[in-house]
Structure 1
Amino acid sequence: MATLQKIRNRGGVLVSIVIGLALVAFIVGDALSSGASLINRSRNEVGEVGGESIGIQEYQQKIMKNEDFIKSMNGLSALTDEQQRMIRENTWNQIVSEIILNKEYEKLGLNVSGDELYDFLLGSNMNPAVSQLFADPNTGQVDKERARLIIKQLIEAPAGTPQKEYWLNMEEQVNTARKQEKYNTLLAKSLFVTDAQAKELAESAATTADISFIMKSYNTVSDSAVKVTANEIKDYYNSHKYLFEQEEARQIAYVNFDITASAEDIKETEDWVNDLKPEFAEAKNVLEFANLSSEKRFQPKYYKKGELDNEELDEFLFTEKSNAVFGPYLKDNAYNIVRVAHRRVLPDSVRARHILIASNNMTQSEKLADSLAGLIRKGGDFDALARQYSADQNTSVNGGDFGWFTQDQMLQPIADSAFFSNKNEVKVVRSNYGFHVLQVTDRSKPVEKVQIGIIAKEITPSQQTINKIYNDARTFANNINTVEDFEAALTANNQTKRIANLGKNDYQIAGIDNAREIIREAYMTEKPGYILTTKEKSPIFEAGDKFSVVVLTGIQEEGIAPLNSVSAAIRAELIRKKKGEIIAKELTNAISGSESLLSVAQKANAEVMDATDVSFSSFQVPGVGIEPVLTAEVVTMKENEISKPIIGNQGVYVVVVNSKTVETVTPEQIEAAKRSIEQTNLYTKFRLILPALVKNAGVVDTRYKFY
């Protein structure tokens, strides 16, 4: 029955089982930015994968199932906006990867037979998720006959039964995971590393060199000394188009109008708090009055002197013994007033132990807790009773001992009881976990502490202030239709322009936390150069604590970036290359006729630098940074020879190897190098395979129309 209860608890949630190499989890999110042009798609589609439509209803149903799962696993009644966004993204990635990989499995003829699936569900190779479901909680062993009986009951249950749906989903996920495992094995078997490759890597790693070198930075040649023609830029672009692939994006310019409290709002808030002080001073129940009056709730904690971060407040609480009220004072954008509720002499920390009786049946649990408490008061062995009865497995092995704790470190019901108990006193305390038989075994030295009531009134903009800010935004937006109008209004109104580059599924813009409406409208607009409007055709967007006016300045299509948008970057690269050629020619002349690196350095007006233990695997060269070409050349050079100019990332180098150490490579090192290459190749293949499949499938993502 316990297993059926597990399935009942999980039955409303269809759980995805992740098995084997984590191929999808860390790859697919980056891969899904590729997709075909969004033209003539059905209004009810959120996307398309390889010609297969994904409807909004199907997508939303899977989202809801995943949301239910997250809430069930974490004991949540609702999810935050951020959690919902993450679930939507993960659900989309899951759908896309399943469609693409299933097509691959079909092409390769990968399948799972009935006998094979049975073996992974209820046979000798039972899947870990399945075995966990049917395992005895005490022994961890699985009674397979009992498991088969339970599954038979589930299969024969009426269609739509949550527990049946849960099991059928588990079967499907185990089946899918097995196919993925086979697919991963095929990929792994397709890789091969030769002995020669492994030996070369091992020998390179075993070679280190101490070097002297000079470096001429690219900055030693001015940009004006280098000529780059339009044809050279075009030729480079045509031969390197793969470098200029870009994702779909939108560019905007915008102005924010912050919705902040005015000076009048701040004064009104302070006056409200001041007016409340006399009534607060006369209140009989300080905490109740504070909780009813305050816009923020505070834990009823006891503080000792010096513990509060406000020195004036701290001094007031421990010197003023009347019902006087401190404040108002500003903290966390609120005016606060404070009054002492209670004064006590309490320890800073206590040590206690407990026996937790889980609340499966409230009446019986409370009765058992009372009986155990009575038994302990009469001299019963607390340690033995905790080991026998406590549902808290973390403490029961230690006789129920919590160890030392402060008020903040413990559940409030237990803390409230423990800190007001005498040493060795036994109490029964109720919490959300059940009934606790609690005994304080030690207390630190008591000191004077105060419990305080705090009334906080947040400073917020009034409706009058909000209306004024909105009117300012409206005045700015009047007569703006184009980007040119926007620029003119900036000057006329002395406003600060911001710019942003937007992805279609982004949720934030710099300075605007919840900007989804703006981003969606940017993607729903087909032509740049004009002001964006809300669904209600207003030019004013409200997001969080801001009003914003936005113009769409550019549309970046997915694919190869146009030449005009990358020409500046190409020009910079060609300038760098030509500078390298100029410096290399200069250094070649300096090398000619020189017998030492010092002589070359003097001719080239450069400084000789040294580096030790440079190897093929060196991440960087001391003094210059990451230079893979330089380290590769050093390993192959002979000692005491001046190198030819080496063109690197930071400049051009000339090197002399002063000494080289070549360790003898053992067969074990060669084998280790072989395994290293295999693992690197395998990781690379797994990292690249799914993005390639996604790109070839032609993924169309139109979720921005709905979310």
Structure 2
Amino acid sequence: MGLMSFLRNRMGTIVVVIIGLALFAFIAGEVVQYGKSFFTGDQTTVGEISGEKINYEAFSARLDQNTKQYQQQFGQNLTPQLTSYVQNITWNQYLSQIIFKKEVEKVGVVVGADETKSMISGTNPDPEVARNFTNPQTGQLDRAQLNQFLNNMQNAPASDPMRAQWADFVAARIDAKKMEKYLAIVHNGLYVNSLEATDDYEAKNKLANFKYVTLPYAAVPDSKVTISDGDYQAYYDEHKSSFKNPQELRTFKYVSFNAAPSKEDTAAIKLQADKLAADFKASTNDSLFVQINAIDAVNKAALAFVHKGQLDPKIDSVMFNAPKGFVYGPYVSNGSYKVSKLVDEQVGPDSVKARHILINPATEGGLPKAIAKADSIKKLIEGGKSFGDLAKMYSIDKASAEKDGELGTFGRGAMVPVFDDAVFNGKKGDLKVITSQFGVHVIQIEDQKGSSKVVKVATVDRPLLASSKTQSEAFSKAQTFLSATNGDNFDAQAKKEGLEVKTAPDVTGIAAGLPGLDNAREVVKWVFKADKGDIADKAFTVGTQYIVPRVTEIKLEGYLALDAVKKQIQPAVLNIVKAKQLTEKLQAAANGASSIDQVAQKAGATVVPVENIVFANPVLPGIAQENKLIGSIFGSQPNKVSKPIAGDHGVYVYVLNSFINPAPLTNAVTVKQQLGQAMLQRADNQVFDALKDKANVKDYRAKFL
């Protein structure tokens, strides 16, 4: 294992670091920005950042590498959602790399050769280096393992792909160090002065006591309010910055036709599963039976002993209370009928401490010769030779060889099944020779701890899939709908056929899964090629549904037009129009009034007293946040009836009774530190946002992915 063991076990982590680019990943987040239209750009450019084009082939190669590393790291196939996640990681990798590379070059930030050496092998190495070479038993950096790895890297041939991967890792650490220096420059320019500290202290501790009268917007029925085009336009102009669309969005309606397995389909599959159960019960070679009859690759995997709680919840308790050979099922789990058989059970240790010597058959002239060599090494150990010395001499797993072959203490499932079987089924002190996909092992069991029951369960399955008849009927209905509909009668035809029209709002061009549509990538790709009002010329297969979509809205990157946001802003505009009416009513009540009680009486409202409100928390008890009202109160004089204030929930008139000032701030150091820390936490994101705005990012991924 040695070099290969480290790279197998750690390169997943290393590449995840590369993907994130350390500090870059924390800053980049989900930053995506589209070009002005879907068709902008050429046929080989997946995006442009600061004028630098990203070639699709290069992007695709990196995406493929990241996908493989994700699968290696987490041991699972990618769902559409995870695929989209890895695509975004890959894009953000390019985004952060290019933006910050240009910026640090402009500023002149460098990392020299001595500094790089110190980051890798110095007394205080880079945190990612230390993390990847930490001894799991001590939690400390394993300096011997690190030095051995660096020596192996230095002596490895230039053509070794692991050298290239290590070079990528080092380059990523250098980039991260440059970014750390760049951000340090920014951080050093941030400070909080005493005046800011005093203002913050008073905003959180100065108390206001007041009374108010309100006429709520909810008291005016919407039907009694008429909104003019001018009202909409005025609100739009005042809040235009809020309507800047950072990426192209599209909305589509769709109808779906269910192609899930029918009752007849389910019954037919159940019959197959029943026969499978009978055959499984009669089987005398369970492993072979599984290999022949299991569909799911997970079920085909080598059988291993597991603890209680590690099986499917539907069979976990059953199998731990059943006799050997017991067959359970058919039962439904994860979209399949399954049949499970208790192949074996035993009471064994919970964890094992072991060491090994690994022989490579390829360099020994074949498997028989490797086994013969392992047997010879075993005899030498039995004759009194040092296991550690022989490990250093013969084992290709150099990482463990440097530690006398030690693998540490591990639980079931940490090793491949054949290795697990050898160490968990043996006893302390045993020497064994086994063969795995890594080579031939000489294993010594040093210790075993704990004791609990474990079981080995074999499972075969029959997926619950719709028959061709069911799929054909659903597809036929979809085609009938398609032939009868057009851009004008989509909703009417759906209603006529008793179909529910659903809406997928504000979809991005790279979306993979949508609410109710787990794998809708092909639908989204069509939507972003279509024009507003278009209906697809075919039904898309999405899971167990056939989908017919129609594009209803296109929001291009940039400032959205008033018509595009009219429905969105209608509630706010309604309140503004209501505020004009209610302001006039309160103003009339305030004219000639000498107290707020008189204002309330004339307006037909009540006076509400409020105490101990602070500027930093502008919440009106029993109502909600009212920034304008609270802000106005803290800028007013006591005992003076105010003018009407149009808030978020109503129109107010108030009178300030008094302020209660806090004790003077005698030591601003703590407050300045708190404000400074909050400023630093915001700074990195704000820096990236500012650089990204200048970078003129154009994202054409929707054309390719």
Using structure 2 for the length normalisation, give the TM-score. 0.74
Letter paired with 2:474: I
Q: 1:294 to 1:147 in 2, by over 3 A?
A: closer
8 A Cα contact 2:355 2:408, kept in partner: no
C-alpha distance in structure 2 between counterparts of 1:341 and 1:120, whole Å: 52
Residue of 504, 507, 530 corresponding to 1:500: 504
For residues 205-228 of structure 1, the C-alpha deviation after alignment (integer angstroms, 9 at most, x for no partner) is 222345554433111223455444
Q: How far 1:551 sits from its partner (Å)?
A: 2.4
Cα shift at 1:103: 2.3
| 1:177-217 Cα deviation digits (max 9, x unpaired) | 23322321232233343322211111222223455544331
Distance in structure 1 (CA, Å) of the matches to 2:693 and 2:126:
33
1:206 aligns with 2:211: no
- Please report how far the alpha carbon of residue 172 of structure 1 lies from its aligned counterpart in structure 2 after TM superposition: 2.8
Instruction: Indicate if the aligned counterparts of 1:295 and 1:455 stay in contact, CA closer than 8 A.
Output: yes
- Do the aligned partners of 1:100 and 1:697 also contact (CA within 8 Å) in 2? yes
Aligned to 2:519: 514
Once the 2 structures are TM-superposed, how far is the Cα of residue 271 of structure 1 from its aligned partner?
4.2
Relative to structure 1, the CA distance from residue 415 to residue 103 in structure 2 (aligned partners, 3 Å threshold; closer, same or farther) is closer
Distance of aligned partners of 1:629 and 1:677 in 2 relative to their CA distance in 1, 3 Å threshold:
farther
- In the alignment, the residues of structure 2 paired with residue 234 and residue 696 of structure 1 have an alpha-carbon distance, to the nearest angstrom, of 30
Matched, 1:529 2:533: yes
Q: CA distance change for structure 1 residues 466 and 300 in 2, over 3 Å: closer, same or farther?
A: farther
Q: Quickly say closer, same or farther: Cα 1:662–1:591, change in 2 above 3 A.
A: same
What is the CA-CA distance between 1:86 and the residue it aligns to?
A: 2.3
Instruction: Report deviation, 1:485.
Output: 5.0
Tell me, in whole angstroms, the C-alpha distance in 2 between the residues paired with 1:442 and 1:277: 32
How far 1:331 moved relative to its partner? Answer: 6.8
Does structure 1 conserve the Cα–Cα contact (< 8 Å) formed by 2:351 and 2:450? yes
Q: Report if the CA contact (8 A) 2:352-2:424 is conserved.
A: no
Residues 393-432 of structure 1 deviation map (CA, whole Å, 9 limit, x = unaligned): 568xxxxxx9xxxx999999999999999xx999999999
Q: Is the 2:135–2:142 Cα contact (8 Å) retained in structure 1?
A: yes
Provide the residue aligned with 2:261 in structure 1.
Answer: 261
What is the Cα deviation at residue 550 of structure 1? 2.0
Aligned residue number for residue 375 of structure 1: none
Could you tell me how far apart the structure 2 residues matched to 1:341 and 1:172 are?
Answer: 50
Q: Is the 8 A contact 1:359 1:435 kept in 2?
A: no
Does the 8 Å contact 1:357/1:435 carry over to 2? yes
Q: In the TM superposition, what whole-angstrom CA distance separates every residue of 1:445-499 from its partner, at most 9, and x where no partner exists?
A: xxxx99999876554321222222222222222255x412534542443322222
How many Å apart are 1:648 and its aligned residue? 2.3
CA distance in 2 between partners of 1:415 and 1:14 (Å): 27
Residue in structure 1 matched with residue 678 of structure 2 by the alignment: 680
* Whole-angstrom distance in 1 between the partners of 2:228 and 2:236: 13
Q: Secondary structure of the residue that 1:48 maps to in structure 2?
A: strand
Q: Is the 8 A contact 1:105 1:179 kept in 2?
A: yes
After TM superposition, give the deviation of residue 505 of structure 1 in Å. Answer: 0.6
- On the 8 A contact 1:13/1:65 being kept in 2, the answer is no
Residue aligning to 1:379: none
Cα distance in structure 2, aligned partners of 1:510 and 1:11: 35
CA distance in 1, matches of 2:632, 2:143: 60
Structure 1 residues 162 and 77, CA gap change in structure 2 (3 angstroms): farther
Deviation at 1:256, TM superposition (A): 1.2
CA distance in 2, matches of 1:16, 1:557: 33
Structure-2 separation of matches of 1:37 and 1:566: 19
1:51 to partner: Cα distance? 2.1
Q: Which residue of 2 aligns with 1:383?
A: none
Matches within 5 A, 1:631-642: 631-635=630-634
Matched with 1:484 is 488
| Match of residue 623 from structure 2 | 624
Selected match of 2:467 from 462, 469, 475: 462
Following superposition, the deviation at residue 165 of structure 1 comes to: 2.7
Q: 1:561 to 1:255 in 2, by over 3 A?
A: same
Contact 1:212 1:656 in 2 (8 A): yes
Distance (Å, rounded) in 1 between the aligned partners of 2:279 and 2:169: 62
Q: Distance in 2 between matches of 1:687 and 1:46?
A: 25
How do residues 160-559 of structure 1 correspond to structure 2 at under 5 angstroms?
160-209=159-208, 212-246=211-245, 247-272=247-272, 354-358=352-356, 360=358, 436=445, 457-478=462-483, 480=485, 482-484=486-488, 486-501=490-505, 502-525=507-530, 527-533=531-537, 539-559=538-558
Are residues 83 and 456 of structure 1, via their aligned partners in 2, closer, same or farther at CA, if it must alter by over 3 Å? closer
Q: In structure 1, which of residues 664, 668, 671 is the aligned counterpart of residue 669 of structure 2?
A: 671
Q: Is the 8 A contact 2:71 2:78 kept in 1?
A: yes
- Report the CA distance between 1:93 and its aligned residue: 1.0
Q: Deviations over 1:263-283 (max 9, x none)?
A: 322333344455667767766
Query: Is 2:49 the partner of 1:49?
Result: yes
RMSD: 5.3
Unaligned regions of 5+ residues in structure 1, if any?
373-387, 396-401, 534-538
C-alpha change, 1:546 and 1:656, in structure 2 (3 Å) is same
Task: Give the CA deviation at 1:663.
Answer: 2.6
Does the CA contact (< 8 Å) of 2:15 and 2:169 recur in 1?
Answer: yes
Of residues 113-122 and 647-656 in structure 1, the stretch that sits farther from structure 2 once superposed is: 113-122
Q: Which amino acid aligns with 1:28?
A: A
Q: Which residue type is aligned with residue 106 of structure 1?
A: E
CA contact (8 A) 2:429 2:445 kept: no
Equivalent residue, structure 2, for 1:689: 687
Task: Determine helix, strand or coil for the equivalent of 1:666.
Answer: coil
Equivalent residue letter for 1:50: S
After superposition, the C-alpha distances for 1:631-674 in whole angstroms (9 at most, x for unaligned) are 44455566666554443222233445566543313333x22332
- CA deviations 1:124-144 (Å, max 9, x no partner) are 765334566788997747599
After superposition, the C-alpha distances for 1:580-617 in whole angstroms (9 at most, x for unaligned) are: 34334433444556566555444433344455542223
Aligned to 2:488, the other structure's residue is in SS state helix
**Separation in 1 of the partners of 2:145 and 2:332?**
66
CA distance in 2, matches of 1:269, 1:168: 53
Percent identity (aligned): 25
Aligned residues of 1:14 and 1:65 also touching (Cα < 8 A): no
C-alpha separation between the residues in 1 aligned to 2:282 and 2:182? 76
Quick check: 1:352–1:440 contact (8 Å CA) kept in 2?
Answer: yes
Q: TM-score, normalised by structure 1?
A: 0.74
Residue 554 of structure 2 aligns to a residue whose secondary structure is strand
Q: SS of the counterpart of 2:669?
A: helix
1:555 offset after TM fit, Å?
2.5
What residue is the counterpart of 1:536 in the other structure? none
1:152 deviates by: 9.9
